[in-house]
Amino acid sequence: MVPASPRRPLLFISNGHGEDGIAAAIIARLPDGMRAEAYPMIGAGNAYAGICPIVGPRATLASEGWRNVKGSLRRDVASGGLAIIPPALRFMRQCVGQYERVVVVGDMVGVLAGLVTGHRDLFYLDVYKTGAARLYSVAERWAIKRTCRIVFSRSPKLSKNLQALDIDARCAGNIMMDTVPDGAYDAAARRTRPLAVTLLPGSRQLTPESFALQVAALRTLPEALRPDVFLAVAGSVNIDELARAADLGRIGLHSHEANDLGTLGQEGLTIHLARGAALGSLLENSDLVLSQAGTATVQALGMGKPVITFINARDRRSRFNDEQNLFGEARTVVAPQAAAIGDALRDLLEDSDKRAQLGALGRERIGPPGAIAAVLAALAED
């Protein structure tokens, strides 16, 4: 009897740190008999470590693909960013017909790359558009209809926008809420104060600057009101750079926990460091969040944690406003000044009713988990 041929692997294409994490979480849940490879279009793809093989050319951009900053595309082009396009397209052409399914996780970049390289029947997990502002444009709908077999959107408005063109578009929940990383880290055991705050300074160029402002804001609080503080460290972030930017020193040793990165501190302020893989534990054990992150902000709000953010002068305001239309008052927006951030912190730390109200609003706006089961079921369809 001739043995059955092994199933070809799936290929997951992602284009950002948060998108890598979402794709990795899906791959980790694939049923027995299904295997996958990952192509992170931008960056090292650290989220896939220990999950699946990484394939394709490695590429870096000054922006790391983060389009929330004004002029990021122009700076990427000026710094030679166009040079990453030919290797990416060559690789994607080589992939045509080589995988059982090709799954794009992120924005339209992967879909457009698939369009021009001959891919059809893509599975597209759109984790970028919110549905609270602009829907899919005519050009986007044309590209999706030509290239994609199934689309999972974050909101019913988005899926209906595609269904009008007879595209198989589905909305089964917010997949970001299915994929909150929850690696080993006991945040609860480190709690010593009545309240706690998690810092999410981001994972890109502005991270040290953002972290320094967050720390400066914490320093404006009176000692009696200071919370326990946790910091989620993205894989690409250099802790020593953070420490220098905020004038902090390493004051603690790592524990046996794989995601423990020790502590930073000075003058009565202690910040517990944990890898981003422990985000779920940090958020679960915090009362509110200071965030300049992307995906992690959505996950914090979806877990019922009010978020405080500041507008950077370099932020791309159109994208920021689109997000704010979705988040509403659940995300408090202040000026990029320590005093302003500190005032917002003090307001929420002192008002438990307001925290509860904003937390409930965040859960409602972001939506429930549940999409990952629908995605896995679709991938298993013949």
Q: Is 299 within 8 Å of 279 (Cβ atoms)?
A: yes
Judge whether 49 lies within some domain: yes
Domain limits at 283? 188-366
pLDDT of residue 67: 45
Same domain for 164 and 260, yes or no, is: no
Judge whether 181 lies within some domain: no
Same domain for 219 and 261, yes or no, is: yes
Assess whether pLDDT exceeds 70 at residue 82: no
pLDDT of residue 81: 46
Same domain for 82 and 125, yes or no, is: yes
Same domain for 31 and 116, yes or no, is: yes
Judge whether 318 lies within some domain: yes
- Overall number of domains in the chain: 2
Same domain for 30 and 165, yes or no, is: yes
Assess whether pLDDT exceeds 80 at residue 135: yes
Same domain for 206 and 157, yes or no, is: no
Assess whether pLDDT exceeds 90 at residue 302: yes
Same domain for 134 and 113, yes or no, is: yes
CATH number at residue 25: 3.40.50.11720
- Pairs from 318-324 (Cβ < 8 Å, separation ≥ 24): 319/67, 319/68, 320/68, 321/133, 322/130, 322/132, 322/133, 322/134, 323/130, 323/132
Residues 6+ apart with CB under 8 A from 305: 198, 283, 286, 287, 288, 289, 359, 362
* 322 vs 365, residue with greater confidence: 365
Judge whether 356 lies within some domain: yes
Judge whether 5 lies within some domain: no
CATH number at residue 327: 3.40.50.2000
pLDDT of residue 80: 42
Average pLDDT over residues 36-59: 91
Assess whether pLDDT exceeds 70 at residue 73: no
Q: What is the pLDDT of residues 85-109, one digit of tens each?
A: 889 999 999 999 999 999 999 999 9
Same domain for 66 and 204, yes or no, is: no
Average pLDDT over residues 121-133: 90
Q: What is the pLDDT of residues 352-377, one digit of tens each?
A: 999 999 999 999 999 889 899 999 99
Phi-psi region of 374 (alpha: psi -120 to 50; beta: other; left: phi over 0): alpha
- The alpha-helical segments, DSSP class H, found in the chain are 17-28, 72-78, 85-95, 108-116, 138-147, 156-163, 175-178, 207-219, 239-246, 279-284, 295-302, 317-327, 338-349, 352-366, 371-380
Same domain for 322 and 240, yes or no, is: yes
pTM above 0.85, yes or no: no
What secondary structure does DSSP assign to 333-356, as a single string? EE-SSHHHHHHHHHHHHT-HHHHH
Same domain for 345 and 374, yes or no, is: no
Judge whether 138 lies within some domain: yes
One-letter amino acid for residue 198 of the chain: T
* 68 vs 100, residue with greater confidence: 100
pLDDT of residue 61: 55
Alpha-carbon distance of 193 to 313, in angstroms, equals 34
Judge whether 258 lies within some domain: yes
Same domain for 318 and 209, yes or no, is: yes
Judge whether 182 lies within some domain: no
Same domain for 75 and 95, yes or no, is: yes
